[in-house]
């Protein structure tokens, strides 16, 4: 089972065409991911104490069905890829309408940022273990570590 949270489309989330705007999908996915980390013992206060945090390298959004003002949705989270050292990972969010149709998918490639050194690092063992508790997508792939020179 994926990690899930619920959301709804707020007034500020709607574009001039009357449906959920691009950045609102990103916000829903980001919120879901941070709820996951908090649920496994890594709320923002823990990241701050460790001077570490997730950093996005890019997002791929695919739209499938519209969401409109006050519509509700379930946001699912799965692990789509991970480097052997855990320094780089890819997360897959699926935003699901009440009727079960996919409203959008957001695939985010990310890594772990040392907040002081401002560089990518490998995560501590307990954080990596928490990340790997996520269900994997059917297309899960091993990623190349950005910290290993070739």
pLDDT tens for residues 70-106? 999 999 999 999 999 999 999 999 999 999 999 999 9
Q: What is the pLDDT of residues 128-142, one digit of tens each?
A: 999 999 999 999 999
Mean pLDDT of the chain: 96
Class of domain 3-138: alpha beta
pLDDT at 150 over 80: no
What's the pLDDT at 47? Answer: 98
Q: How many CB atoms lie within 10 A of CB 1?
A: 6
What's the pLDDT at 145? Answer: 82
Q: Is 118 left (phi over 0), alpha (psi -120 to 50) or beta?
A: left
pLDDT at 59 over 60: yes
Give, as one character, the DSSP assignment of residue 11: G
Mean pLDDT value across residues 8-21: 96
pLDDT at 149 over 70: no
What's the pLDDT at 148? Answer: 55
pLDDT at 118 over 50: yes
What residue ranges in 1-149 does DSSP mark as E strands? 3-8, 52-63, 72-82, 88-96, 102-114, 119-121, 136-142
**Which residues is 115 bridged to in the sheet?**
none
What's the pLDDT at 146? Answer: 74
Give, as one character, the DSSP assignment of residue 58: E
């Amino acid at each position: 089972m994926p990690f899930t949270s619920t959301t709804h489309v707020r007034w500020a989330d709607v574009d001039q065409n009357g449906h959920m705007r691009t950045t609102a999908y990103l916000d829903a996915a980001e919120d879901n991911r941070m709820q996951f980390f908090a649920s496994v013992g890594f709320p923002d206060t823990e990241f701050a104490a460790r001077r570490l945090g997730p950093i996005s390298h890019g997002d791929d959004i695919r739209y499938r069905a519209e969401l409109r003002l006050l519509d509700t949705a379930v946001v699912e989270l799965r692990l789509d890829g991970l480097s052997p050292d855990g320094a780089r990972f890819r997360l897959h969010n699926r935003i699901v309408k009440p009727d079960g149709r996919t409203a959008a998918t957001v695939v985010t490639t990310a890594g772990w940022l040392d907040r002081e050194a401002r560089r990518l690092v490998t995560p501590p063992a307990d954080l990596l273990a928490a990340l790997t508790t996520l269900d994997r997508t059917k297309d899960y792939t091993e990623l190349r570590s950005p910290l290993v020179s070739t």
